[in-house]
Amino acid sequence: MQHELIARARDWLSDDPDPDTRQELTDLIEAGAGDELAARFAGTLQFGTAGLRAELGAGPMRMNRAVVIRAAAGLASYLNRQRPRPAQDAQPAGGRPGPGLVVIGYDARHRSADFARDTAAVMVGAGLRAVLLPRPLPTPVLAFAIRHLGAVAGVEVTASHNPPRDNGYKVYLGDGVAGTASRGGSQIVPPADAEIAAEIAAVASVHAVPRPDAGWEIAGEDVVEAYLERAASVLTEGSPRAVRVVYTPLHGVGRETLTAAFARAGFPAPTVVAEQAEPDPDFPTVAFPNPEEPGAMDLAFATARATAADAGAAPDLVIANDPDADRCAVAVPAPEEPAGWRMLRGDEVGALLAAHLVRTGRAGQGGQSATDTTFATTIVSSSLLSRIAATAGVPYAETLTGFKWLARVDGVRYAYEEALGYCVDPAGVRDKDGITAALLVAELAAGLRAEGRTLVELLDELALAHGLHATDQLSVRVQDLSVIAAAMERLRAQPPTDLAGLPVTSAQDLSQGSEALPPTDGLRYHLAGGAGSGVETARVIVRPSGTEPKLKCYLEVVLPVAAPDALPAARARAREVLEAVKRDLAVAAGI
């Protein structure tokens, strides 16, 4: 086995075009690092609906130039086999139309620019036209550019909010490719992912992939300007703009684009967290560059407190983007909290934006036609959106987790997922967009401020109107992925009959699929409330993360609230039930 492993490593070494990873692999071979070599050669990174994402390093189970070149070659072969042609009714808003255009974006992580250039070279070598975005930019700029330039596909080199050692490769398809008309600019879904994976597997050698030294184009700043112009259009003309914001890009690529968007829209310039303002692939001030992770927002809150001390009044909002700026986190003043601020859950921001669109008469506007009115979210997000939509007479849809599914909802006007992702302009960016979401949150906060109200007060109003929808998450990060598989197997073999004293009324294995949902590795439990519990309904979904080594459990309890003075007790009861559900679920799953 050791001899076979060394032989595979030497074969890979001979085909690796990168001197850095060749040296890394040579050192491992000479050191006899059997365990490390076994991990790197345990298979190949699987290309799926999330594209590719893994730790940087040499070998087929890591992200490196050899893996990226193979992926790009497979994508190019897929596109050429599709023989794409522009949709008859969808001409690009700018640039030159034409089959074969692939637009490529990248963030500021280690090797992102290298992987982007390799992709451009492979596309040109395959007879396609490649356009590279001019610098590291937010992922939503890439998603916008696909439609704006009339591209048949787009690639974004990013690992989003993963640890510094990771990188990734996301693929989007444009209009006219494999039935994507009117859904172009969204991430790939089956069967395209499997078809591209098959083409990648057919790449015999990296050295055999044509990669000219030139021939691709660098997009001009006009693409970024067009994105900013489109972003400003999500706001209502003449709406209030007086709002004080502290902003952090978490060492990512969001600052220039977000501050430019705020200026274009007429908002006061945000106060940027100085220590996290510049792109830095090492993310030195955070353990994980994800606004949801404990401690990630500490510097932002410290900046907000300092700003309040200088100005004599607290800012209205703290806003954060993740490193590629497709997610948006929001925090509000909370004097009762130790930090003085409270992070809003993604479900809370999702409900607030939906209510804002309804209230301002934009629930049925901003799509590609008058029929684009649907509000959509994922099965792991709060059910509050469904109640807001029903009350407003707006169509509603649920999908599997991820914007690759949400972006494909027919007639979608607004979509969000609980993991801080919001799509407020699907006709412009058919993906989550942390820049336009931040603009809309700022507009909402400014409007409420003009009325002497706050986001927290609007959340209270939603609870009174639709019931208190309290959500939480049990998330378990593992080193050994078999722990996740064992937990899922245990829950399938012995599903819980009650959680927190609430009876489980249905246990659904989502791997079986249904008329409404494709198969996915997940479990869904519906729980009944009843007299004496104070709970109307509850729901639990358990699934392995698609991008990180985590088992994720999404919890929701719904409690009726009769009057404003009943809200504190309802919230206390909700916290109590959610904690009990987490304890019981952990026992049932053996985690």
Q: Which residues are designated catalytic?
A: 160
Q: Answer whether 219's CB lies under 8 Å from 226's CB.
A: no
Sequence-distant (6+) residues with CB within 8 A of 346 are 381, 416, 417, 418, 419, 420, 421
Lookup: tokens for 60: 């087929």
> How many CB atoms neighbour CB 340 within 10 A?
16
Helix, strand or coil for residue 266?
coil
Give CA separation, 192 vs 71, 402, 414, 459, in Å.
14, 16, 25, 40
Three-state SS sequence of 92-157: CCCCCCCCCEEEEEECCCCCHHHHHHHHHHHHHHCCCEEEECCCCCCHHHHHHHHHHHCCCEEEEE
The residues facing 412 across adjacent strands are 374
Sequence-distant (6+) residues with CB within 8 A of 179 are none
- For residue 147, give the nearest of 101, 109, 115 by alpha carbon: 101
Report the chain's terminal Cα–Cα distance, integer Å.
33
Residue located via tokens 């209030």:
240
**Cα–Cα distance between 423 and 353 in angstroms, integer?**
10
Lookup: tokens for 514: 């249904």
Q: Answer whether 328's CB lies under 8 Å from 431's CB.
A: no
Q: Answer whether 113's CB lies under 8 Å from 66's CB.
A: no
Helix (H) or strand (E) holding 472: strand 468-477
DSSP 398-429: EESSSHHHHTTSTTEEEEEETTTEEES-TTT-
DSSP 16-66: ---HHHHHHHHHHHHHT-HHHHHHHTSS-PPPBTTBEEEEBSSSTTSB-HH
Q: Answer whether 173's CB lies under 8 Å from 152's CB.
A: yes
**Cα–Cα distance between 577 and 470 in angstroms, integer?**
10
